[in-house]
Every structure is written in structure tokens, then in C-alpha cells.
Amino acid sequence: MAILFDIIRNSYVDGPGIRTTVFFKGCNLSCAWCHNPESQSGKPQIMFYSNKCIGCGTCKKKCPHGLEACELCGTCSLYCPTDARQLCGKEYTVEEVMKEILKDRSFYDASGGGVTFSGGECMLQIDFLEELLKACKQNGIHTAVDTAGHVPYEYFERILPYTDLFLYDVKCMDSTRHRQYTSVGNERILENLKQLLQTDRPVWVRIPVIPTVNDSVKEMTEIRAFFETYGKPEKIELLPYHAMGEHKYAAIGKKAHVFIAPDEENLNQLRDIFS
């Protein structure tokens, strides 16, 4: 069993072709710009969107335990007429996840797509992830693992035989700044990336572009120098910061860090560094 918080079908942004993306709950980073803050906790939680609440009291009437003694059964979310209360996180078996994945097999075959395992950090639930990857390979489905890389390299070795593509996040080269904005240093992340680039598995590096954090020519030049030294990934994507996840912070009782989206001129300048 593993705890997931979403399964999205018909994705075009998590690897090649049409894909199903499986989101694992739990992350050992807490990036200040995270657009899925509900993914950070490894446990189920109730998200409450106060702007949707109409004050009807149905949640209190239907809750078998009392809202103040919530046991995360999800009953309130089932009966809420406006989806103001939503249960985030549910236990799945490998068989249950594969049933969802196989629904779109014809789309994978037609588009060169497949399944992407993301998060949170999917590799924190490595036993379950390994079993899912094996099941996908047994069914001839292309697999991708989306990771921030802050795990023992042994985990990569376990899943290498069953993973067709790695999507690997790189934030910045300076470990102090990395810790300031993600809560962890980047030493393990970069060391794992060095080793992964020496394998026969394709790697797509994805760099979130966050103004005031890593949107400088100097930062991107240092990242390019890393690849020139240790091996070039198959693809490098710059992902501009967006604020689409900010409303989720209030829903889980947190305050969002607010950044300004980078402008297109700056993005093009940074892209030219890797062209």
C-alpha cells in the first residue's frame, strides 16, 4: 500500500506523448515555490477552501466523529455540496493504480506516451514504486520517474531496470541558497545526478525559474558547467514560476511564499545559455 494524492490522465507535460501521472504523497523538501503544497505531508489531510463554503453545516451533521476530532475518514468531503472540504491522500494497492493506468493504454501506444510517477517525492515510497514500475514493464508501458533526487542512490539502482526516463529537478548550484529555499542542501542531489548521468537511462533535467532565487545568467551558467563536467542530459527544460498553487496553502493552513513570474525576455536569455 502507498498513499497517493492524485492520478491525472491525459497529461502532456510529464514526459513524451500522452501520459498518466501518478502523484505520491510526501516530500523531504519544502520548496518555497511549491505549487502542490498538499504533497509535502506524507499523511492524508483535509483541505478546506473557505471561499467555497456556504455555511450549510452539512459537514458537521454528517461527520461521525465531530470535526474537532477529525479522523480523516473523508465523510465531510463526500457530502459537502460545494467541495469546500476535500480529502487529500488515500491508500492504494498496486492493483488499484494499475487499473487506472491501463485505462489509457491505447493513448500511450498511439502517442509514444506512458506513465509518470511524481509527487511529492515518489521515491520515498520506494518499495511500492518499484512494484508499480515492474508491473508497468510487464505490460509494456513506458515509465518515467519524476524526482528531486534527495534519496539514497541505492533507490535509483533498484528502479533503473524498470525506468525508461528520469525527470530530474535542479534548483541551483549553491547549497546554502538551496537549503534556504528548500530546507535541504543539494550535495546528495547533485551527487546522485552525477551518477545517474553515467547510466544508459535518458535524463530530462527540469529547472524551475524563480525570480530572486535562481533567475540569473550566473546561476544558469554554473548549472551548464556542471553538465559539461559530469555529462549532458538528453533534455533541459526551464519551468517558469507560476502562482497557480497559492490558493492551496490557505486550504491546508499555511502561508504561501509569493514570487513574481519571470518575464519572457529573461527566460529567453536563460534558455540561450543551454541552446
Residue 37: how many CA atoms within 13 Å on its side-chain side? Answer: 20
φ/ψ (deg, to 5) at 218? -60, -45
- 165 and 67 in a single domain? The answer is no
The model's pLDDT over 233-271, given as tens digits with 9 standing for 90+, comes to 999 999 999 988 889 999 999 999 989 999 999 999 999
- What is the average pLDDT across 29-37? 96
Q: Which run of H or of E encompasses 6?
A: strand 2-11
Instruction: Give the range of the structural domain holding residue 59, as residue numbers without chain letter.
Output: 46-87
Which residue, of 62, 87, 112, is where some domain finishes? 87
- 195 and 254 in a single domain? The answer is yes
- 131 and 198 in a single domain? The answer is yes
CA angle centred on 80, ends 4 and 242, rounded to 5°? 55
Which residue, of 55, 87, 119, is where some domain finishes? 87
pLDDT value, residue 248: 94
pLDDT value, residue 245: 85
Helix (H, G, I), strand (E, B) or coil at 104: coil
User: Is 161 a residue whose pLDDT tops 90?
Assistant: yes
pLDDT value, residue 243: 86
- 135 and 167 in a single domain? The answer is yes
Which of 4, 10, 14 is closest to 169 using CA atoms?
14
Residue 119 CA to residue 147 CA, distance in Å, equals 8
- The confidence band for 128, taking pLDDT boundaries of 50, 70 and 90, is very high
pLDDT value, residue 68: 78
Which residue, of 54, 87, 120, is where some domain finishes? 87
Domain total in the chain: 2
| One-character DSSP codes across 193-258 | HHHHHTSSS-EEEEEEE-TTTT-SHHHHHHHHHHHHHH---SEEEEEE---TTHHHHHHTT-----
Residue 87 CA to residue 90 CA, distance in Å, equals 8
The whole-model pTM stands at 0.95
pLDDT value, residue 272: 96
The DSSP symbol for 50 reads T
Buried b (16+ CB within 10 A) or exposed e, 8-30: eeebeebbbebbbbbbbbbbbbe
Helices (H), the chain: 58-62, 75-79, 94-102, 105-111, 126-138, 153-159, 175-182, 187-197, 217-230, 246-251, 264-274
- The confidence band for 122, taking pLDDT boundaries of 50, 70 and 90, is very high
Chain mean pLDDT for the chain:
95
Q: How many residues comprise the chain?
A: 275
Name which of 2-16, 65-79, 215-229 the model is least confident about.
65-79
Residue 214 CA to residue 266 CA, distance in Å, equals 12
- 50 and 186 in a single domain? The answer is no
Pairing mode, strands 203-209 and 235-240: parallel
- 235 and 157 in a single domain? The answer is yes
pLDDT value, residue 71: 86
Residue 236's CATH number: 3.20.20.70
pLDDT value, residue 275: 86
- 12 and 72 in a single domain? The answer is no
- The confidence band for 72, taking pLDDT boundaries of 50, 70 and 90, is confident
